[in-house]
Amino acid sequence: MSKRIQRARDIFRKKFYNDSYNGTFHVSVGFLLFFLFTTLPWPFVREINIFSLLTFILSFIIFTFALYYQHRFPQHKLMRGFKFFYKIHRVHHSFFDYDHMYVDDQNDNLFILFPISFIISYCLVLFPLFLSPLLLINPDTFFISLSACCFYFFCHEIIHYLGHTKGSSAIYKNKVVAFLCEHHRIHHDRKEEPVVNFNMILPLGDLFFKTFKTKSKATNQSLNHKQA
């Protein structure tokens, strides 16, 4: 490991770690909450039909662009009112780069996953507030869209976790997972200016806004999921 990355990791661990943090607990409870928030809106849907499925898919796609915007701008550009998001994301990019993508142990999940408090506030407060106008149009649309947003966030965190951890299970060998993990790995290439590959699940925003890249300047190799 490079001295620069090791020094950054030592500094941030000392600054942010505390004795009560448990990385395994974080990932387990976080994913459980996402599952619950994805499924809980459905009992409130009065009628489930083909339009429900189309609403879910459309909401998922719209949220893909919303998360693209959040990642590309507030998290990568210092904007008024979003300094906290920018600073936290700078820590993440100091902790990981293209050649040092993996955690050393489960407690490094602190530098990958959203805090549990963020998950709760996003899914129970921010998403419902953002989607609240849909209640005036069709309550079913509101609850389906809320589920889709939480599901996208769930998938986002799963891929982000897999992209920064090593594993020998079949999921790491899955071609789609490998593609998405390498897509994110290129995002961490410090030689890329401007930064590319902001999407985590569907690279629709990257394709539309021309920030999609399949080769890294760091290795000049096509997409794969092999760590140098």
Q: Which two tokens stand for residue 92?
A: 């993440």
Q: Distance between CA 141 and CA 46 in Å, rounded?
A: 10
Helix (H) or strand (E) holding 221: none
Residue 193 lies in a domain: yes
Residue 218 lies in a domain: no
Residue 170 lies in a domain: yes
pLDDT, one tens digit per residue, over 142-170 is 999 999 999 999 999 999 999 999 888 89
Residue 223 lies in a domain: no
Contacts of 142 (CB under 8 A, 6+ apart): 131, 132, 134, 135
How many C-beta atoms lie closer than 10 Å to residue 154's C-beta?
A: 20
Domain carrying residue 70: 3-44+61-208
Residue 110 lies in a domain: yes
List the beta bridge partners of residue 100: 97
Q: Please say whether the beta carbons of 109 and 23 come within 8 A.
A: yes
Rg of the chain over all Cα atoms, to the nearest angstrom: 18
Q: What is the pLDDT of residue 168?
A: 80
Contacts of 214 (CB under 8 A, 6+ apart): 183, 186, 222, 223
Q: Which two tokens stand for residue 145?
A: 């869209």
Residue 12 lies in a domain: yes
What's the predicted TM-score (pTM) here?
A: 0.92
Q: Distance between CA 97 and CA 2 in Å, rounded?
A: 10
Residue 203 lies in a domain: yes
Residue 117 lies in a domain: yes
Q: Distance between CA 157 and CA 38 in Å, rounded?
A: 13
The per-residue pLDDT string of the chain (228 residues; one tens digit each, 9 = 90 and over) reads 899 999 999 999 999 999 999 999 999 999 999 999 999 999 999 999 999 999 999 999 999 999 999 999 999 999 999 999 999 999 999 999 999 999 999 999 999 999 999 999 999 999 999 999 999 999 999 999 999 999 999 999 999 999 999 888 899 999 999 999 999 999 999 988 789 999 999 999 999 999 999 988 766 544 444 444
Q: How many independent structural domains does the chain possess?
A: 1
Q: Which two tokens stand for residue 153?
A: 């966030």
Q: Distance between CA 186 and CA 101 in Å, rounded?
A: 10
**Nearest by Cα to 58 from 120, 134, 122:** 134
